[in-house]
Structure 1
Amino acid sequence: MCQLTPESEFVDLAVEVFAMLADATRVKIILALRDGELSVNHLADIVDKSPAAVSQHLAKLRMSRMVTTRHDGTRVFYSLTDEHARQLVVDAVQQAEHTVGRPSHHRDDGPTEA
């Protein structure tokens, strides 16, 4: 089990995870995939980038094991490998909300997920 201390052997790997998510397009891809799998073209439409650009970002996310693929004939569908990348991005967006005032996830009308 990971020791959550400053001496943890996983600190350097955690930094690599943050570096992978230090790109707006990759954050948008993670947010788009949180509800299920999508094709490159569908992701490209959602994040307003070319399919080629999205494919390059997906390749990096695959290498970091944040996303996985499923093939259906010639089509490839991408999904999150587990809930951790989704949660990291949601937490980061919610932290960002704190920088501009009272965040929506603290309002009385119930929590909202970024």
Structure 2
Amino acid sequence: MSSTQEFIDEAAKIYKVLSNSTRLKILYYLRHQDSETDVKTMVNDLGLVQPIISKQLGILYRYQLVCRHKEGTRVYYVLDDPHVIEMIDDMLKHVKHEIKGEPHPRTLYDNKK
């Protein structure tokens, strides 16, 4: 298998991870935190139960989308790769255009037609 195919396969796995709205909600939440955040705080702020948040954070950690460290009984999380949030932002902009029926911004691709 070529290295390009391996990259494509891995990208598809990450897109699958990002296809869950709860995981996206957690990533966006972490994006707006000034520092590492523990699970208990996320439970309070996001209104989700601890087992759901912990399970989703485990998946995000496995795919290196968040980092974690433990202090006593608390586990703290922070974004591992802010570039992923930029990609999600771009997708949300696309969705916003589709829902509102607004035209997409012109791209270099448009100029080649």
TM-score of the two chains, using structure 1 as the length reference: 0.74
Moved more, 50-59 or 40-49: 40-49
RMSD: 2.1
Q: Residue 75 of structure 2 aligns to a residue in which SS?
A: strand
**2:30 match:** 33
Q: Which runs of 5+ in 1 are unaligned?
A: 1-6, 107-114
* Alignment of structure 1 residues 1-114 onto 2, 5 Å: 8-9=4-5, 10-36=7-33, 37-101=36-100
Report deviation, 1:74.
2.2
1:31–1:89: 8 Å Cα contact kept in structure 2?
Answer: no
User: When the two structures are aligned, how many residues end up with a matched partner?
Assistant: 98
The letter of the residue matching 1:53 is I
The letter of the residue matching 2:79 is L
Q: Which runs of 5+ in 2 are unaligned?
A: 106-113
Aligned-residue identity in percent? 27
The letter of the residue matching 1:50 is V
- Structure having the higher helix fraction is 2
2:64–2:81: 8 Å Cα contact kept in structure 1?
Answer: no
TM-score of the two chains, using structure 2 as the length reference: 0.75
Largest Rg, 1 or 2:
2
User: Alpha carbons of 1:72 and 1:60: their partners in 2 closer, same or farther (altered >3 Å)?
Assistant: same
The CA distance in 2 between the partners of 1:102 and 1:79, in whole Å, is 35
The letter of the residue matching 1:61 is L
**2:108 match:** none
